[in-house]
Structure 1
Amino acid sequence: MDNGIFNILLEYLNIVFLVFSAVLFVLYFLMAYLATRNSIHYKHKNSFGDISKTMGSPLSPGITIIAPAFNEGLTIVENVRSLLSLQYVNYEVMVVNDGSKDDTLQKLIKAYHLERINKDIDPEIKSKPIRGIYKSNQRSFSKLTVVDKMNGGKSDALNAGIYLSENKYVGCIDVDCLIQPDALLHVVKSFYQHSEKRVIAVGGVIRVANSCKISGGTLEEIRLPKNWLARFQLLEYTRSFLLGRMAWARIDSLLIISGAFGFFDREIALAVGGYDTTTVGEDMEIIFRMRRHMHDIKAPYHVAYIPDPLCWTEVPEDIKIFMNQRDRWSRGNLETLFTHKDMFFNPKYGRLGMLSYPYWFFYEWLAPILEFLGCIAVIVFFYLGILNWDFFIAITATIYSFSIMFSFYAILWEVYSYNQYSKTREILTLMLFAVIEPIVFHPIVVWSSVRGNYKKLFKIRSGWGSQVRKGFAKA
């Protein structure tokens, strides 16, 4: 290749990379601004009034919490006990035993005095066959329903619960998550705070529970995770939930609600056919379809987001399990983006088509791939002796500094807004991890994403992978 053409190509690549980075910086500044405005607005709006009196009334809308369970025998009894102690009157806990091979069902039957009931089941339910439905013969456990079905995966179990529920709203959660006692009060309130629009879904912040003290299904003490990998994820979750998703919620363009804590208008969830059982990114995909449906019928709607710390979960502490999780997330992203590719820069879908989808395409899906290819290009250019050191050092230092600054802001905003980690040592520890994250944790995330995309693009079969948990610390 002619040296002149090669130099032009290099300059072109430098400009593309510079523009890509500059746009990212601007977007992240906007995210921080919008998230801050939204958090202040939320706290001001919810600083008065006692919602427990209104939402705790027997006249409050019904809600069903659907918790899929597969081989959860070790912790299922305690987890269900926690769900049955929520501060809300009109709710049901529906545990869907998804073909467990251990003693999950037997432990539930024994602990909660369950008996099989006769109930007509619609043969058109989009799930694997249901083997039985159980209710307790004791009044104290009247809110509990256990559904036993053939194994079909998490999405299939959630669909069974959505179809069997008779309440106006359904909550889809992970059975091993710790839900704060007043969580349903906040959730139902969010469904009714937009009188001019129909709220079709409500999501919330997911907090990291590793190393926290848990007693009887109650969070006794919040602690910083001891494990290095869990600490990095805590930092990542703080940025993502407290800034990223809060910002998208501010402009009503949120495209994902975490599968660990998501609540839906049952009628709309059924209208779009429930969860897609063919994808590993079902929590993102159902929001896409629900939003599309509301746009297609030209009905005003809203997807709400709660920044209060209402749900705590255990994140992976094993590097292999963590990489499998991120591998799966990247495959889910690609599947969803491909399925809804006609939304890309489509003005028919408003901000979703013109802003949310393009951002997700370029900066959530494509960015890790470009980073990986960029690293390879740097190595090749260095080997060939054509690396522009001044540009490389300048852009690397800028990106590194911006990354640390954004993480610092997320940490300090968390301290100001919710102050979950109030000890100076904990805050300084998180800041230290923010400094080393770009060179320790981020490369692992990028590689996991690239690996997931490679598997999906080249049709290498891969499922959910093992999600072994250590369990919460006891008080």
Structure 2
Amino acid sequence: MALYALSFAEISDYARRETFSGLDDLFTSNYAPPVSVIVPAYNEEATIADSVRSFLSLRYPLHEVVVVNDGSKDGTLEVLKEEFDLWESDQPVRLQLGTEKIRKVYASATERLIVLDKENGGKADALNAGICAARYPLVCCLDADIILEEDALIRAARPMIESGEVAAVGGIVRVANGCEVDSGRVVEVGTPRAALPNLQIVEYLRAFLAGRTGWSKLNCLLIISGAFGMFRRQDLIAAGGYARDTVGEDMEVVTRMHRSLRERNRDYRILFIPDPVAWTEVPDTLRVLRRQRDRWHRGLIDTLLRHRKMLLNPRYGTTGLLGMPYFFLFEFLGPVVELTGYVAFAAGLALGILSLEFALAFLLAAVGLGALLSISAVFLEELRLRRYPRWRDLAKLTLYGVLENFGYRQLNTLWRVLAIVSFLRKNTEWGAMERRGFDAAERKSPARKP
């Protein structure tokens, strides 16, 4: 509740300040450092051309796009060569981070585009290669199938322009299911018909607006979404880049940056801001969603154990004293406690140990609190950010904020407990993800090498 109150106050203040942001002036300012947009691509033949065009057309004073073809087995590289008039370049890549072998470097004759062709090493390996090839001081790491709003780069870069202490910035990731997409841009925001994506919209709003905003204010934000994050290149390299032996590379690299910057006695901030928007397609089947949540939780466990030295250690400031304990107790172990509680609750009722009246009152309080938190996130969105223009969409999300407590939350709890078992069994699989694509055409993205 304290985290929610902090988030609400911060977003309200952010919305007020946006009225006088002077964002248009930044587009013509000489103070905006150039940005390298890094896009790892694996078997993205069907959509890579449209994605790259949308990234090249982002509004920013000066930016380049670095696509890393991570050993694709389809025609991803051939499509890029044909669509962007690529030629083989002798541009050197200074390998300051470990990566698999880079076969060739291509440049475009018509666009600010660099394409690396390398052997398959996984997403983290591809990101490291792109960071090494980047020519500019800020790097923005994206998923190939993400949709960025036109001004997302300048909004993400603004805190870095305003203060040299800001080492990284994460923006909000929103659910594109149900939205109208045209030429790589979301032209109309809406909600889908299916229940599962709507439940995830509520979940995303709660996690980003009412969670990460608060952690950012306390300077102990442990994760910037791998779908959209901006970093100072020198700080990212100093921390060692992305870990190639984890499935939670986005959380691990941010936690390691906290650790590295603290150990170097740097004054720094790692921020989340709610305005630079990236749109993504979320799973619409339980099977795919289960694989995604299993991987997320295994990545979280791996990160916390790798950096357990930071836990309750004053040397690491609020990250060690607040962020790490919270994630250990409520994110890592919370599902075990919750599942045990459900079993004990049912057993207590069956054995007559619990009073039925008390049990029903307690259940009502628990469900009521969960619904209150979710609905609050939905209304925070409407009151301050207003991305959903239709009241019927807000009413639908409010309803799902209540319904998620009856089945969906428990299912997620079970998946996260099973993920702990999967982690103990040393499962390092990425897990195949199936997406329909923004044009609703069925396509599949094969699993990456872990």
For residues 232-285 of structure 1, the C-alpha deviation after alignment (integer angstroms, 9 at most, x for no partner) is 000000111111111111222211100001111111110111001111111111
1:79-228 aligned at under 5 Å gives the runs 79-122=51-94, 125-138=97-110, 141=111, 143-194=112-163, 198-228=165-195
Contact 1:58 1:90 in 2 (8 A): no
The corresponding residue for 1:26 is none
Distance 1:239 1:264, change over 3 A: same
**For 2:435, what is the secondary structure of its paired residue?**
coil
Identity of aligned residues (%): 38
The answer on 1:321 being equivalent to 2:321 is: no
How far apart in 2 are the matches of 1:188 and 1:46? 15
**For 1:192, what is the secondary structure of its paired residue?**
helix
Contact 2:197 2:283 in 1 (8 A): yes
Displacement of 1:97 in angstroms is: 0.6
How far apart in 2 are the matches of 1:295 and 1:309? 27
The corresponding residue for 1:467 is 433
Displacement of 1:192 in angstroms is: 2.4
Contact 2:310 2:316 in 1 (8 A): yes
Equivalent in 286, 296, 308 of residue 263 of structure 2? 296
Stretch deviating more after TM superposition (183-192 or 256-265): 183-192
Displacement of 1:52 in angstroms is: 2.9
The corresponding residue for 1:429 is 396
Displacement of 1:125 in angstroms is: 4.1
Displacement of 1:137 in angstroms is: 1.7
How far apart in 2 are the matches of 1:82 and 1:120? 27
Stretch deviating more after TM superposition (323-332 or 424-433): 424-433
The corresponding residue for 1:287 is 254
How far apart in 2 are the matches of 1:302 and 1:383? 51
The corresponding residue for 1:3 is none
Displacement of 1:381 in angstroms is: 3.3
Contact 2:39 2:68 in 1 (8 A): yes
How far apart in 2 are the matches of 1:152 and 1:458? 22
Larger Rg, first or second structure (1 or 2): 1
Stretch deviating more after TM superposition (41-50 or 385-394): 385-394
The answer on 1:251 being equivalent to 2:232 is: no
Equivalent in 39, 54, 60 of residue 11 of structure 2? 39
Give the letter aligned to residue 133 of structure 2. Answer: L
For residues 367-422 of structure 1, the C-alpha deviation after alignment (integer angstroms, 9 at most, x for no partner) is 11111122222333344443343443232211101111111111111111122223
Displacement of 1:51 in angstroms is: 2.4
How far apart in 2 are the matches of 1:287 and 1:145? 26
Gaps of 5+ in 1: 1-28
For residues 438-462 of structure 1, the C-alpha deviation after alignment (integer angstroms, 9 at most, x for no partner) is 1121112111111111111232x24
* Alignment: residue pair count: 440
1:250-269 aligned at under 5 Å gives the runs 250-269=217-236
How far apart in 1 are the matches of 2:63 and 2:439? 28
The answer on 1:442 being equivalent to 2:409 is: yes
Gaps of 5+ in 2: 441-450
Give the letter aligned to residue 287 of structure 2. Answer: K
Contact 1:64 1:94 in 2 (8 A): yes
How far apart in 1 are the matches of 2:397 and 2:32? 41
How far apart in 2 are the matches of 1:60 and 1:204? 18
Give the letter aligned to residue 260 of structure 1. Answer: A
For residues 332-370 of structure 1, the C-alpha deviation after alignment (integer angstroms, 9 at most, x for no partner) is 111011111111111111211111111111111111111
Contact 2:15 2:385 in 1 (8 A): no
The corresponding residue for 1:272 is 239
The answer on 1:311 being equivalent to 2:278 is: yes
How far apart in 2 are the matches of 1:309 and 1:315? 19
Give the letter aligned to residue 294 of structure 2. Answer: D
The corresponding residue for 1:331 is 298
